Amino acid sequence: MELQRVRVQNYKCIEDSGWVDFERITCMVGKNESGKTAFLQALQKLNPVNESGDYDPLVEYPRRRFKRYENTRHEDNPDPVASAHFELTDPEVELVEEEYGGNILNGKSVTVTKDYKNRIHWNIDVDEGQLCLNSIRTT
């Protein structure tokens, strides 16, 4: 998968970065205290290399909105923190089709999001009808 863009929401001083395009070389430029480090910290926790990848809303959720968030939706509907949008390569698409049958992907996009409950959500546009047909044919 090739990283295309990323987004950080509800993290320290960042309300919503919007989608930020990534290319082979990406440079972040901004004034001091504008959120560059916070942005990178949020992304690092999306797929950490060690065990320090949990988001802590008590420490990292934007302060001025924390009480309302904690009281109304943290338990049942936790806010997203970091998202990454990838494009599958042709060999990866072929692997998916070998495993699940042809014509199940509606595109090559994959979006991964991690929320304040530290759950990972995958969004892959799949033709569920075709997937069912393919699974019936293989059983």
- Entry pTM: 0.86
Helix axis angle for 128-138 and 90-100, nearest 10°, is 50
List, for residues 107-135, the tens digit of each pLDDT value: 999 999 999 999 999 999 998 888 888 88
Q: How confident is the model at residue 138 (pLDDT cuts 50, 70, 90)?
A: low
Return the CATH number at 38. Answer: 3.40.50
Domain count, the chain: 1
- Domain containing 100 equals 2-138
List, for residues 6-63, the tens digit of each pLDDT value: 999 999 999 999 999 988 878 888 898 888 999 999 999 998 887 778 999 999 999 9
20 to 17, 39, 81, 127: CA distances (angstroms): 7, 11, 14, 28
121 to 76, 95, 118: CA distances (angstroms): 15, 21, 10
Strand (E) or helix (H) holding 120: strand 120-126
DSSP 45: T
